[in-house]
Every structure is written in C-alpha cells, then in structure tokens.
Amino acid sequence: MSESEVGRRAEKMTNDKGGFPAQEQEHPGSTAAMDPVPDHGEDTYEGTGKLEGMRALVTGGDSGIGRAVAIAFAREGADVALSYLEAEQEDAESTAELVRAAGRTAVLCPGDLMQEETCTSVVEKAVEELGGLDILVNNAGAQWARDDSLEQMSSERMDRIFKTNLYALMWLTRAALPHLGKGSSIINVSSIQAYEPSTSLLDYAATKAAINNFTVNLAAEVGPRGIRVNAVAPGPIWTPLQPATKPAKAMEEFGADTPLGRAGQPSELAGAFVFLASPKDASYVSGTVLGVTGGKPVF
C-alpha cells in the first residue's frame, strides 16, 4: 500500500473534527476496546529486508507504537523481544503472533519496568532467547492527564511517570549497552510534549525533554563504539494510552490541533523507527530527534 493510501486510510478513521468518538478505558488500556481499533500496519506495512538478521528489544511492545514497530521490524527481517506489563498479556500475544507470521522469532518479556531488576532481567531474557541484541527501542511510557495542576499532583503519580519514562529508559540502556556493538542502535521515544508542553502533562512533558537531552548526550558517549542513539518524537497518536489516561470527551478532538488536522495512526510512525534502526540507511545519523508530529515543529 502506498504512503498516500496509508494517509487516506488514517484520515477516514477520524471524525469530522479530526478526532474519535468519546471513550474512556481503565489503565493501561486495551487495543480491542478502542473505537476505531488503531492501524499498526497489519495490512499495510511491506518490508524490504532492511533489518535482516538483526535482533531487537521493543519496550511497550504489546500495542500502539510498540506494536507498529514490532510488525515493521519483523517484516524487515528482525527477530523481536516484546516488553510489556502483565495486564497487557492479551495485546502482547497478538503482537507476537504478527511477528511470527512474518517468519521471525518473538520473545515475550512481561514485567513492570518501574523496577530496576525487571529492566535488567528483560534485557537478559531478550539477549538469551534472541542470541544477542542489535536494537533497543525505549518506547514504554506513562502519562496521566486528568489532574488540573501541580498542587493536585500526587507523589505516587510523579514516581510512576518518572520511573517509567526516565529511570526505566536509563536502566534498560545500561543493561543493554554491554551487548551492543558496532552498527547497533538505541531509539528512544520522545514526544511533541518536549516542545509544546501541556499544563495537564507537566510531569510527562518534563520526562520527554529529559529524554531528548539523554539521547544527544549518550550518542556522544557511545559514538566511538559505533553505536548510534536517536529518538522519535511522535505527535498525537491513536493508541490505548489516550483513552486510558484522558477524559472521554477529549478524544473527540484528539489530534485536531495539528497542521494536518488529525491524529496519527501507529503505522505512520513505523518507517521512522526502521530508518533509524537501519545500519545502512542511517549509518551517519546519531544524536538526532526525528519528529513525526502531523506538522508540529520539533525545534
């Protein structure tokens, strides 16, 4: 399917405001319960062998952006380990089936990345069952947009956001680095919130700005080892995280404020991750943040 057809398909999934029907879910959310169910590239992504023989660990790989990346990586020839919360087992198994349908190995790594020991064990399991590691995608993230101000923000919420988005990213990367060699890459997931922060996502936006800094800094540190470090900054993307962390009515105009006038689908991000992971196509790309934002600026 051509890029223009993918875009038209994404446009048809939105309402006349550019958003979706009002809906809300319990955290962490379910793909099957979404209306409409997101497009992860199940019927659209066609690989060309860009990652043939490579081994990837994708955190938050059960659904949303992580599922789209896992599908794309598998169809490009990579074996994929998926990290996810135990509550997301059903979604993770569905993603694993799609990886295996592409003829690649899928490894399931459930666990809460807020725990340092889980991050270490997830990397160890991925390395053991895949036979090594070439790509780490730090995609797992948490947000909560139902509090009105910092004064109402609990320390428990701050811990969840900072440990999931920042601590886990650093723990996972630290554990993965000894297994990565020349031609390997680390891809972090930033956000448009690092550039246009919403007051209701004060803590989340702060972690995403920190991820940008971490990306550039680590790229300088490990560049001499031939390891590339980059980030993708998504705009509003239709994933279970949205109805699971925001008010139901907010979904009706979710993404409508972008220059393209709509939210994006997870499938529309996959190519950015494939490009950054490819040791051929992105051999001289490191320390950069690639925006996939529907037109919002990332500078």
Read off the pLDDT of residues 146-159 as tens digits, 9 standing for 90 and up: 666 888 899 999 99
Q: Where are any strands of DSSP class E within the chain?
A: 55-59, 79-84, 106-110, 135-138, 185-189, 228-234, 289-292
* Confidence at 17, pLDDT banded by 50, 70, 90: confident
Tell me which of 3.40.630.10, 3.40.50.720, 2.40.160.20, 3.30.200.20 is the CATH number of domain 3-292.
3.40.50.720
Give me the sheet containing 106-110, strands edge to edge.
106-110, 79-84, 55-59, 135-138, 185-189, 228-234, 289-292
Among 45, 84, 195, 204, the one annotated catalytic: 204
DSSP SS3 for 187: strand
**Burial 142-181, CB ≥16 within 10 A → b, else e:** bbbbebeeeeeeeeebeebbbbbbbbbbbbbbebbbebbe
Give the pLDDT confidence score for residue 196 in this predicted structure.
Answer: 96
Whether this model's pTM surpasses 0.85: yes
* Average pLDDT over every residue of 31-48: 95
DSSP SS3 for 253: helix
Reported as type and span, the H/E element at residue 276 is helix 270-277
Q: Does the active-site annotation cover 84?
A: no
Look up residue 126 and give its two tokens. 């991925």
State pLDDT tens for residues 217-230. Answer: 999 999 999 999 99
State pLDDT tens for residues 116-133. Answer: 999 999 999 999 999 999
Give the pLDDT confidence score for residue 4 in this predicted structure.
Answer: 58
DSSP SS3 for 205: helix
Angle between helices 64-75 and 89-101 (to 10 degrees): 20
Q: How far apart are the first and last CA of the chain?
A: 31
State pLDDT tens for residues 197-244. Answer: 999 899 999 999 999 999 999 999 999 999 999 999 999 999 998 999
* Confidence at 2, pLDDT banded by 50, 70, 90: low
